[in-house]
Structure 1
Amino acid sequence: MSLYVMKFGGSSVGNTERMQRVAKRIVEKQDEGHQCVVVVSAMGDTTDDLIDQAKLLNPDPPAREMDMLMTTGEQISMALLSMAIHQLGREAASFTGWQAGFRTESVHGKARIIDILPGRVQEALRAGKIVVVAGFQGMTEDGEITTFGRGGSDTTAVALAAAISADVCEIYTDVDGIYSTDPRIVKCATKLKEISYDEMLELASLGAAVLHPRAVEYAKHNKVRLVVRSSFNNNEGTVVKEEATMEQGVVVSGIAYDKNVARISILGVSDTPGVLAEVFGELARAEINVDIIVQSGVQNGEADFSFTVSLAECDNAVAVINNLKGHLPYREVTSEDGLVKISIVGAGMISHPGVAAQMFDVISKQGVSIKMVSTSEIKTSCVINGDKLNEVIKALHTAYNLDAEDQVFVGGPQDRR
């Protein structure tokens, strides 16, 4: 008998018909002799609808009350799914995140997990029940309800799998598994049989939306075996594990992209010690995440430097920099949108020279200029104008021998939490 944690996203439980299909799938897993713990997201567009209602009443609602509101979506899903399982003749017990033992920081909207006390979950399993847990939520030591932010249900599932020593954590979504790139752009994208934690973490951080980076990081730290598969069919998914078997000739495993990119440039800054520390320290205090940073050469005691932030944070970042001008003189600050970050990822890049050079060559042959570059041992990222994104991805996919012979993509509605 194995212990499975099964996570189903919003599109997987988007209506009563899909809820019944999920319930049947869970019962079939139990019939195979396994214990089942299920983590669910809110149904379909429930979360977005709740946000819209809140903002109609208050354009800037308090974070605490938003958490009180947002957790109700997952609670609806857990109760309905438990009822569907009971209808199939099996016992199920539903738990909120805090009933399942999730203890978190006192940060509303993006709390991190401090500890998990899964006693009630384990007790229900010992009683032969299927356990259904609301994802995305926990509680502080002071009894305040919190949420984990985007991708929080993935994190709930992986963290719970680690806490109860589950054999496998299955993430059911609207696609067959992890693909070499977005199959909506490249129809011949290859579904990967397996991928390493490090490669998956890079892809998730760089824009691949199938798994959230926090969930992958948690899985890597706790060595949780992950399987990403579709809730709409029984096809084999992609295994995420410590080290993936490298196929012959495959240096790059995947290509990711992020359209949510803006570049900010500060021109004519005095080349004195502490300037970068002050600028990026202020941005950090404003909770603005900075990605790629590039500084140009110094001329006449002045330097220029550029960095990228998410498009949503661009205006705030510019405002922070403008507030520094009184004691940190610069000639000009500019911002640019309409950009994308495109990245190649692969463990094989470590031992194969020339991979980045090939990427630059492919991009140049599409008539596209590279604005910024960032590298690590297993990835290279380029910031480019977004108007030829699809052409660049297709060209890179072919250049790194990632094209499948046949179209293999099988997907359903987009599932993002």
Structure 2
Amino acid sequence: MTDSIIVQKFGGTSVGSIDRIRAVAEQVIKTKEHGHSVVVVVSAMSGETNRLQVLANQVDTLPSSRELDVLLSAGEQVSMSLLAMTLQKLGHDAVSLTGWQAGIQTDEKHAQARIIGINTDAINQQLQLGKIVIVAGFQGITEQGNISTLGRGGSDTTAVTLAGYLGAKECQIYTDVDGVYSCDPRVVTAARKLDTIGFQDMIDMAKYGAKVLHLPCVEFAEQHNLPIRVLSSFSPLQGTLVKAQESSGGVVGVALRRNLMQITSNNETIDKLVAQCNEQELEVFRVLSKDQSGVVVSQVDLAKLMQVIHEEAVHIDDVCSVSLIGRSNLSSIQALEALLAEDDIEIVSHSLCERHTMMLLAPEYLDKAANIIHDVYVDQNELLSVSKRRVS
């Protein structure tokens, strides 16, 4: 029975209305009728998490993280119960389980919790009864018995981790796009869908801004060699298979991030901020600028740091990032600076490593820069010289 389990995850757009929930139910039934045991993980209906967050912020701009998790977890519970009702209406036995009912155990870090284990007894018991099991994504329970959430995109992590613990044949992530693209196709119309991508390249794409898959879910999949198939809820195409494979070399894709804040100051202050971010487990990138040391954090995390830096001599700017993902030449930043300068776009600061080149720009230049960089670098075996830029 274990070999026949398929875990399917459906995102918020896929369950955004009763009609779409019925379409999801029909897709799940097809999988069931092909002889598989099916476990479905659902996100909240599109827009619901934002609605709940707004309500919380009307009460308090910095609400209790515990109570916020209790509130936000309700969105997925609405989706799971509606899907179970729909499946039952269509003649199939189904049962919905919250994160804690499904045995999903997390650490104590609210809003960004990590799954530390899953007791699959309840799920396996329902599967043995022939039921389709629907699990609320994005949530679990701490050792202290508190509801926790996994952060935006956490339903992906729920699905992949469940697939690993259940020994599933495959984890299928259904979303509103038909696979992983070389860049966000809403920004770069020339972006191409990747038939396959290696775990490490996908981890880097997710880390630096691609929103198709939640970073922890890809990390778990790599550790357990569990293939992930990214599919569209609205298209019959085969999507993208994320699996163990060697990087082909060169640039695999271009990842974009908005709503970032760059903090620049002296080395001593920046060291303090990095230490504070590490202590609070906040995401932080150290960057190189022309005159000063700097770090980049999200706008959300900046609010958490303000209590530490309000008396420091710092400069804070709105920025966005464009990152080339794949093995690259560490001297490539000069070529990128020259390339973007042709369109009067300045690189504010940058970060380089073997597998990525991240550039920070003023937000108004992000889309234009993404198209220029994708034009020149994607699908090349090495960084090209500026002279090879496509004639527009």
User: How does the TM-score come out when normalised to structure 2?
Assistant: 0.88
Where does structure 1 lack aligned partners over 5 or more consecutive residues? 298-303, 326-331, 404-417
Choose the corresponding residue for 2:300, options 290, 312, 318: 312
Structure 1 CA distance, aligned partners of 2:353 and 2:79? 40
Answer yes or no: is 1:334 the counterpart of 2:315.
yes
Identity of aligned residues (%): 37
Q: 1:85–1:92: 8 Å Cα contact kept in structure 2?
A: yes
After superposition, the Cα gap between the structure-2 partners of 1:397 and 1:59, relative to the gap in structure 1 and judged at 3 Å, is closer
Per the alignment, residue 101 of structure 1 pairs with: 103
- The CA deviation string for residues 361-399 of structure 1, in whole angstroms up to 9 with x for no partner, is 422322222221212222111112232222221121121
Structure 1 CA distance, aligned partners of 2:309 and 2:62? 24
Residue 370 of structure 1 aligns to a residue whose secondary structure is coil
Matches within 5 A, 1:25-44: 25-44=27-46
Residue 126 of structure 2 aligns to a residue whose secondary structure is helix
- The CA deviation string for residues 90-118 of structure 1, in whole angstroms up to 9 with x for no partner, is 11121111111111122322221111110
Matches within 5 A, 1:346-385: 346=326, 349=327, 358-385=335-362
What amino acid is aligned across from residue 365 of structure 2 in structure 1? K
Residue 172 of structure 1 aligns to a residue whose secondary structure is strand
Choose the corresponding residue for 1:294, options 274, 288, 310: 288
What amino acid is aligned across from residue 72 of structure 2 in structure 1? M
Answer yes or no: is 1:393 the counterpart of 2:370.
yes
Considering only aligned residues, what root-mean-square deviation do their CA atoms show, in Å? 2.5
After superposition, the Cα gap between the structure-2 partners of 1:152 and 1:316, relative to the gap in structure 1 and judged at 3 Å, is closer
Structure 2 CA distance, aligned partners of 1:310 and 1:170? 29
Structure 2 CA distance, aligned partners of 1:296 and 1:229? 43
After superposition, the Cα gap between the structure-2 partners of 1:61 and 1:312, relative to the gap in structure 1 and judged at 3 Å, is closer
Structure 2 CA distance, aligned partners of 1:82 and 1:354? 55
Structure 1 CA distance, aligned partners of 2:330 and 2:289? 25
**Segment drifting more, 388-397 vs 218-227:** 388-397
What amino acid is aligned across from residue 114 of structure 1 in structure 2? I
Alpha-carbon shift at residue 60 of structure 1 (Å): 4.3
Per the alignment, residue 48 of structure 1 pairs with: 50
After superposition, the Cα gap between the structure-2 partners of 1:74 and 1:378, relative to the gap in structure 1 and judged at 3 Å, is same
Q: 2:253–2:378: 8 Å Cα contact kept in structure 1?
A: no
Q: 1:2–1:167: 8 Å Cα contact kept in structure 2?
A: yes
What amino acid is aligned across from residue 314 of structure 2 in structure 1? V
Choose the corresponding residue for 2:207, options 205, 208, 233: 205
Structure 2 CA distance, aligned partners of 1:75 and 1:25? 20
Structure 2 CA distance, aligned partners of 1:96 and 1:148? 14
Structure 2 CA distance, aligned partners of 1:190 and 1:153? 25
Structure 1 CA distance, aligned partners of 2:14 and 2:303? 36
Structure 1 CA distance, aligned partners of 2:59 and 2:315? 36
Per the alignment, residue 408 of structure 1 pairs with: none
After superposition, the Cα gap between the structure-2 partners of 1:389 and 1:316, relative to the gap in structure 1 and judged at 3 Å, is same
Rg comparison, structure with higher value: 1
Structure 2 CA distance, aligned partners of 1:235 and 1:366? 37
Per the alignment, residue 81 of structure 2 pairs with: 79
What amino acid is aligned across from residue 71 of structure 2 in structure 1? L
Q: 1:190–1:402: 8 Å Cα contact kept in structure 2?
A: no
Residue 209 of structure 1 aligns to a residue whose secondary structure is coil
What amino acid is aligned across from residue 297 of structure 2 in structure 1? V
Structure 1 CA distance, aligned partners of 2:233 and 2:127? 23
The number of aligned residues is 378
Q: 2:321–2:366: 8 Å Cα contact kept in structure 1?
A: no
Residue 89 of structure 1 aligns to a residue whose secondary structure is coil
- The CA deviation string for residues 322-344 of structure 1, in whole angstroms up to 9 with x for no partner, is 44x5xxxxxx422222x221111
Q: 1:288–1:317: 8 Å Cα contact kept in structure 2?
A: no
Alpha-carbon shift at residue 126 of structure 1 (Å): 2.1
Residue 92 of structure 2 aligns to a residue whose secondary structure is coil
What amino acid is aligned across from residue 341 of structure 1 in structure 2? S
Alpha-carbon shift at residue 59 of structure 1 (Å): 4.6
What amino acid is aligned across from residue 5 of structure 2 in structure 1? L
Alpha-carbon shift at residue 22 of structure 1 (Å): 0.3
**Segment drifting more, 114-123 vs 306-315:** 306-315
- The CA deviation string for residues 224-264 of structure 1, in whole angstroms up to 9 with x for no partner, is 21011100121111111111574xxx721110111222222
Choose the corresponding residue for 1:88, options 87, 90, 100: 90
Q: 1:295–1:305: 8 Å Cα contact kept in structure 2?
A: yes
Residue 274 of structure 2 aligns to a residue whose secondary structure is helix
Structure 2 CA distance, aligned partners of 1:8 and 1:277? 41
Matches within 5 A, 1:129-168: 129-168=131-170
Q: 1:37–1:132: 8 Å Cα contact kept in structure 2?
A: yes
Per the alignment, residue 259 of structure 2 pairs with: 260
Alpha-carbon shift at residue 199 of structure 1 (Å): 0.8
Q: 1:39–1:134: 8 Å Cα contact kept in structure 2?
A: yes
What amino acid is aligned across from residue 344 of structure 1 in structure 2? L
After superposition, the Cα gap between the structure-2 partners of 1:295 and 1:319, relative to the gap in structure 1 and judged at 3 Å, is farther
Residue 214 of structure 1 aligns to a residue whose secondary structure is helix
Per the alignment, residue 121 of structure 1 pairs with: 123
- The CA deviation string for residues 121-166 of structure 1, in whole angstroms up to 9 with x for no partner, is 1122222221111111111233222221211111100110010011
Residue 182 of structure 2 aligns to a residue whose secondary structure is coil
Alpha-carbon shift at residue 61 of structure 1 (Å): 3.4
After superposition, the Cα gap between the structure-2 partners of 1:119 and 1:104, relative to the gap in structure 1 and judged at 3 Å, is same
What amino acid is aligned across from residue 391 of structure 1 in structure 2? K
After superposition, the Cα gap between the structure-2 partners of 1:286 and 1:23, relative to the gap in structure 1 and judged at 3 Å, is closer
User: How does the TM-score come out when normalised to structure 1?
Assistant: 0.83
Residue 24 of structure 1 aligns to a residue whose secondary structure is helix
Where does structure 2 lack aligned partners over 5 or more consecutive residues? 381-392
